[in-house]
């Protein structure tokens, strides 16, 4: 069992998959689970945006499985009485979702809290271990104001296709966080950046707003960019700070933190003062996105410190 500890920070961003599905965004507070019924729903790339939106109100567990291996977490999730929702995903039929969570083997489980991915475990751990991980997921959700639930008694049965899905009972996100989340869901990254900046002005110790600002800023920089063009520009101008920063953004957005860190740290010694400051600032943003508990961040931070001093 791999359990690095739930965290709202991560190099994976789910908004790209949301946009790729090209699904209209329902009004806040009206989105039911996308398919199936009750607390366990089968999700595809087309319906994934709805489960991401639902995660702003109740923590979601995503179970990725392979054909021939039935999902196994339903009973445990249902035992939490509506405080968790399980989204089951056929990873083979929905490779975009597996890619978004950087899943290389199945079965695997991840969480979504407020639209952000939380790595959970790979394989099939014992029920007791699974419950420990789910308990931690709920603690993280509570710390971030996501304490809603679904009413399991009102949830329709699998045999009753005519019944209405259970409505979420929600505790709202802080207003500026909700504003940023809604903006990201619609691709308005400038508005998300502005909302997170306001949140930080109101509370400079709002670490989630700091991490959210870093992620929204990265998405804003990459919005409309073409990956092949960015990589060609970097290859043609290996000494260009701007070109290398752009490719590093691309690597981070795809979860390739090691590549981004190595690119910028290898470039760092050859730069002048202005270039070094630009790289240092960008690396600090990446550290916020990935989180201090990521071992790749710790290694890169040590190397950056050595280069600075």
Q: State the average pLDDT over residues 128-132.
A: 91
The DSSP code sequence of the chain is -------S--SB-SHHHHHHHTPPPPPTT-PPPSSSBTTEEE--TTTHHHHHHHTTTS-EEEEEE-TTS----HHHHHTTTTS-EEEEEETTT-HHHHHHTT--SSSEEEEEETTEEEEEEES---HHHHHHHHHHHHHHHHHTT---EE-TTTSPPTT-TTSPPPPEE--PPPHHHHHHHHHHHTT-HHHHHHHHHHHHHH-TT-HHHHHHHHHHHHHHHHTT--HHHHHHHHHH-TT-HHHHHHHHHHHHHBT-HHHHHHHHHHHGGG--HHHHHHHHHHHHHHHHHH-TT-HHHHHHHHHHHHHH-
**pLDDT of amino acid 167:** 45
Question: Is 297 a member of any domain?
Answer: yes
Q: How many CA atoms lie within 13 A of 137 on its CB side?
A: 31
Whether 235 shows a pLDDT value over 50: the answer reads yes
Whether 33 shows a pLDDT value over 70: the answer reads no
Q: Are residues 222 and 148 in the same domain?
A: no
pLDDT band at 2 (very low <50, low <70, confident <90, very high): very low
Q: Are residues 73 and 184 in the same domain?
A: no
Q: Are residues 33 and 155 in the same domain?
A: yes
**pLDDT of amino acid 237:** 96
**pLDDT of amino acid 87:** 93
pLDDT band at 219 (very low <50, low <70, confident <90, very high): confident
Residue predicted with more confidence, 254 or 197? 197
Q: Are residues 165 and 44 in the same domain?
A: yes
Mean pLDDT: which of 19-23, 222-226, 229-233, 305-309 is highest? 229-233
Q: State the average pLDDT over residues 273-297.
A: 90
Question: Is 1 a member of any domain?
Answer: no
Question: Is 10 a member of any domain?
Answer: no
Question: Is 97 a member of any domain?
Answer: yes
For the chain, the domain total comes to 2
Q: Are residues 86 and 209 in the same domain?
A: no
**pLDDT of amino acid 271:** 95
Q: Are residues 130 and 201 in the same domain?
A: no
Q: In this structure, what CATH number is given to the domain that contains residue 25?
A: 3.40.30.10
pLDDT band at 124 (very low <50, low <70, confident <90, very high): confident
Whether 28 shows a pLDDT value over 70: the answer reads no
Question: Is 8 a member of any domain?
Answer: no
Q: Are residues 254 and 279 in the same domain?
A: yes
Average pLDDT, rounded, for the chain: 80
Summarize pLDDT for 170-206 with one digit per residue, the tens. Answer: 456 789 988 988 888 778 889 999 999 999 999 998 8
Q: Are residues 222 and 126 in the same domain?
A: no
pLDDT band at 49 (very low <50, low <70, confident <90, very high): confident
Q: How far apart, in Å, are the Cα atoms of 247 and each of 18, 191, 230, 256, 290?
A: 22, 24, 6, 11, 17
Question: Is 196 a member of any domain?
Answer: yes
Whether 18 shows a pLDDT value over 90: the answer reads no
- Residue % of the chain over a pLDDT of 90: 35
Residue at which a domain ends, from 138, 169, 200: 169
Residue at which a domain ends, from 169, 201, 223: 169
pLDDT band at 261 (very low <50, low <70, confident <90, very high): very high
Q: Are residues 149 and 261 in the same domain?
A: no
Residue at which a domain ends, from 169, 184, 206: 169
pLDDT band at 253 (very low <50, low <70, confident <90, very high): confident
Summarize pLDDT for 136-177 with one digit per residue, the tens. Answer: 899 888 887 888 888 766 543 333 344 444 444 445 678 998
Q: Are residues 223 and 155 in the same domain?
A: no
Question: Is 6 a member of any domain?
Answer: no
What the block records as the tokens of 158 is 């699998």
Domain that holds residue 298: 175-308
Mean pLDDT: which of 44-53, 255-264, 270-279 is highest? 270-279
Q: Are residues 67 and 99 in the same domain?
A: yes
Whether 40 shows a pLDDT value over 80: the answer reads yes
Question: Is 131 a member of any domain?
Answer: yes
Q: Are residues 135 and 207 in the same domain?
A: no
Whether 266 shows a pLDDT value over 60: the answer reads yes
The residue behind tokens 């991490």 is 211
């Amino acid at each position: 069992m791999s359990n690095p500890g739930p965290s709202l920070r991560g190099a994976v961003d789910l908004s790209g998959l949301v946009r790729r599905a090209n699904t209209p965004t329902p009004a806040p507070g009206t989105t039911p689970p996308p398919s199936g019924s009750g607390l366990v729903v089968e999700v595809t790339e087309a319906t994934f945006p709805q489960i991401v939106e639902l995660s702003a109100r109740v923590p979601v567990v995503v179970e990725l499985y392979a054909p021939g291996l039935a999902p196994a977490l339903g009973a445990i999730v249902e035992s939490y009485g509506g405080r968790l929702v399980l989204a089951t995903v056929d990873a083979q039929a929905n490779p975009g979702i597996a890619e978004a969570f950087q899943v290389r083997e199945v079965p695997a489980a991840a969480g979504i809290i407020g639209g952000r991915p939380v790595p959970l475990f790979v394989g099939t751990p014992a029920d007791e271990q699974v419950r420990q991980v789910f308990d931690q997921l709920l603690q993280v959700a509570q710390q971030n104001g996501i304490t809603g639930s679904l009413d399991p008694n009102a949830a329709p049965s699998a045999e009753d296709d005519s019944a209405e899905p259970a409505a979420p009972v929600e505790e709202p996100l802080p207003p500026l966080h909700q504003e940023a989340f809604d903006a990201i869901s619609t691709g308005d990254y400038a508005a998300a950046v502005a909302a997170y900046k306001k949140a930080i002005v109101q509370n400079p110790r709002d670490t989630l707003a700091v991490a959210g600002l870093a992620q929204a800023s990265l998405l804003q920089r990459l919005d409309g960019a073409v990956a092949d063009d960015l990589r060609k520009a970097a290859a043609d101008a290996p000494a260009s700070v701007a070109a290398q920063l752009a490719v590093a953004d691309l690597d981070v957005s795809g979860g390739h933190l090691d590549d981004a860190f190595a690119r910028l740290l290898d470039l760092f010694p050859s730069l002048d003062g202005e270039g070094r400051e630009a790289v240092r600032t960008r690396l600090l943003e990446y550290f916020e996105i990935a989180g201090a508990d990521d071992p790749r961040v710790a290694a890169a931070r040590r190397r950056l410190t050595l280069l600075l001093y």
